[in-house]
Amino acid sequence: MYLPKHFQVDDVSLLAALIEESPLATVIGVLDGVTEINHIPLLLSEDKTRLYGHVAKNNPLLNLANQANPKLSAVFHGPNAYITPSWYPSKQHEGKVVPTWNYAVVHAEGRLSLIHDAVWLKAHVGQMTNIYESTARSNWKLEDAPETYIQSMLKAIVGIEIKLDKLVGKFKLSQNRPQEDYASVVDHLKQSPKDALSQMLKYMNTPD
């Protein structure tokens, strides 16, 4: 990833917050010279050293674990927004401004291993359910479904663990603009009725 220093974020607490808010990762590995891409919700461990998730048993990604070096990458996408140069006060001086795109992403790199333990799988799925049911304004729990059905579903999946070698963020948030331009972008985002734009605000206010 192209990563100018002024866009780089190494603060693990900030990276963990983005992963928690945007858990659906683009997971990328190479199998026999062919790029394998999947989209998988992942949870970050409390000590920030591992990612956990699950996939279907017939997912080819699982074959990566059999390789000598089972490395893969996971990309978490936070909010993003088109930024018009008309928001820049500096436009009035010489007109030397162009549009850009602001965004916040986290790249994780690590080694894949598989988890087949049924007890772990049930606890993991239950944990994910408890975390994300609130986002649907619901309180459905794993125990609401028949146990025999749950067990049959668990037999169709495999747990995955990614032991992290690297975790880094790119928060491209107008830090390279003059302060008056940065402040103006923040003001316009505050006035935007679009959620995708307003969601940028807390990241824009993050120290770079």
pLDDT of res. 201: 85
Torsion sign (Cα): 2, 17, 191, 196: positive
CA distance 78 to 105: 5
**In a domain? residue 132:** no
Q: Which amino acid is it at 167?
A: L
Among 103, 118, 128, 130, residue whose Cα is nearest residue 44: 128
**In a domain? residue 14:** yes
**In a domain? residue 74:** yes
| pLDDT tier for residue 50 given thresholds of 50, 70 and 90 | very high
Among 46, 31, 175, 16, residue whose Cα is nearest residue 108: 16
Average pLDDT over residues 100-116: 96
**Number of structural domains the chain divides into:** 1
**In a domain? residue 146:** no
Read off the CATH number of the domain in which 79 is found. Answer: 2.30.110.10
pTM: 0.91
3-state secondary structure of 158: strand
CA distance 11 to 67: 32
Average pLDDT over residues 187-193: 85
The tokens of 22 are what?
């945007």
Q: Which domain holds residue 90?
A: 5-117+158-204
Average pLDDT over residues 57-86: 94
Among 176, 20, 155, residue whose Cα is nearest residue 83: 176
DSSP conformational letter for 138: -
Average pLDDT over residues 183-187: 92
Q: Which amino acid is it at 124?
A: H
| pLDDT tier for residue 207 given thresholds of 50, 70 and 90 | very low
**In a domain? residue 151:** no
pLDDT of res. 162: 98
**How do strand 71-83 and strand 100-115 relate by DSSP bridges?**
antiparallel
pLDDT of res. 96: 77
CA distance 172 to 123: 36
**In a domain? residue 171:** yes
CA distance 68 to 86: 52
Sequence-separated (6 or more) residues with CB below 8 Å from residue 18: 76, 78, 104, 105, 106, 169
**In a domain? residue 127:** no
Sequence-separated (6 or more) residues with CB below 8 Å from residue 195: none
pLDDT of res. 196: 67
**In a domain? residue 122:** no
